[in-house]
């Protein structure tokens, strides 16, 4: 059976029937709009698009993978502001011949990823489309904290990262090359492309520790640090020897004969967090110092200025 057999209202009812609601959602799907509680009085909002063939391939990723990934990249943006995610709303374009099993798996992926942070799917919209297109908007609560923006970095501070780097790029490279996935490490790298694992709790933690700037690593660490440098009017110097290369990334690099550090520094879609802290802050083991902030502009690695490495939708 396909979504076309159900019709629009049947599809909507099938989706909403699979979505449990959390405490933040005061009125969920079924009306013209949802109602979400705002304990702090302010709402952090982020939105992203995912297009089939551009951000995922159905022959590479299951519906469940795509649902987890679509929710994760938006929830990570909220965490990168120092907020706790509370809900998402989803705009969904799907072909009429899409199997219902794929739609059900997609819906379950949304719900399960939101459940990792106690958030809910509050509502959305569905329409017919030639490809699978997802527009996800995430909401978050600052719990009385100030938001952590990209513009607060100052000379003398340190740059630290939390979460995995290079996994998504390594997994994509393995799939693109048609390389075998005959070891647990290679399988984990591919899983990193299909389903990122953002360190959500580290966003509010960084805010509590006094982070002055932060973002999630969606387009590549060096390119994203460039956004902090530009917004703050500073230079970021990165020490490549400070990074720990995960075993799956190293295994993929060995399989394909490439430098794993390139994926760590320039690969996107891991949705790790990069933050800037005062030098005197004692960071927990969940954060790894990888650089420093100095006067100037741009990003330096090995003492060389980096142009614009990483992902750009229009390059």
- How crowded is residue 93: how many other Cβ atoms within 10 Å of its Cβ? 17
Q: Is 232 annotated as a binding-site member?
A: no
Q: Is 32 annotated as a binding-site member?
A: yes
Distance CA 239, CA 223 (A): 15
Q: Is 218 annotated as a binding-site member?
A: yes
Residue with tokens 């982020």: 46
Q: Is 16 annotated as a binding-site member?
A: no
Is residue 229 a contact partner of residue 235, using CB atoms and an 8 Å limit?
yes
Q: Is 47 annotated as a binding-site member?
A: yes
Closest CA to 282 of 210, 212, 216: 210
Q: Is 125 annotated as a binding-site member?
A: yes
Is residue 267 a contact partner of residue 219, using CB atoms and an 8 Å limit?
no
Residues forming the annotated binding site?
A: 32, 46-48, 55, 77, 124-125, 150, 216, 218-219, 269, 311
Residues forming the annotated binding site for ATP?
A: 124-125, 150, 218
Residues forming the annotated binding site for Mg(2+)?
A: 32, 46-48, 77, 125, 216, 219
Residues forming the annotated binding site for substrate?
A: 55, 269, 311
């Amino acid at each position: 059976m396909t979504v076309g057999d159900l019709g629009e209202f049947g599809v909507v009812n099938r989706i909403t029937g699979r979505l449990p609601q959390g405490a933040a959602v005061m009125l969920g799907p079924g009306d013209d709009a949802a109602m979400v509680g705002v304990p702090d009085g302010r709402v952090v909002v982020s939105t992203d698009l995912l297009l089939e063939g551009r951000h995922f391939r159905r022959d590479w990723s299951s519906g469940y993978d795509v649902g987890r990934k679509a929710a994760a990249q938006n929830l990570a943006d909220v965490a990168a502001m120092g907020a706790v995610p509370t809900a998402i709303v989803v705009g969904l374009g799907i072909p009429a011949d899409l199997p219902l099993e794929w739609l059900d798996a997609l819906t379950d992926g949304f719900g399960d990823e939101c459940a990792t942070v106690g958030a809910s799917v509050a509502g959305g919209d569905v329409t017919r489309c030639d490809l699978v297109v997802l527009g996800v908007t995430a909401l978050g609560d600052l719990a009385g904290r100030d938001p952590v923006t990209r513009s607060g970095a100052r000379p003398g501070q340190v740059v630290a990262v939390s979460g995995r780097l290079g996994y998504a790029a390594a997994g994509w490279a393995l799939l693109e090359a048609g390389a075998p996935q005959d070891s647990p490490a290679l399988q984990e790298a591919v899983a990193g492309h299909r389903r990122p694992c953002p360190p959500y709790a580290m966003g509010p933690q960084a805010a509590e520790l006094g982070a002055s700037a932060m973002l999630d690593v969606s387009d590549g660490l060096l390119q994203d640090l460039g956004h902090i440098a530009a917004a703050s009017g500073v230079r970021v110097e990165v020490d490549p020897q400070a990074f720990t290369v995960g075993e799956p990334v190293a295994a993929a690099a060995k399989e394909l004969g490439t430098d794993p550090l390139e994926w760590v520094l320039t690969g996107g879609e891991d949705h790790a967090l990069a933050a800037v802290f005062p030098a005197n802050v004692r960071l927990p083991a969940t954060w790894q110092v990888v650089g420093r902030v100095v006067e100037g502009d741009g990003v330096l690695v090995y003492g060389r200025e980096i142009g614009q490495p990483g992902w750009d939708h229009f390059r």
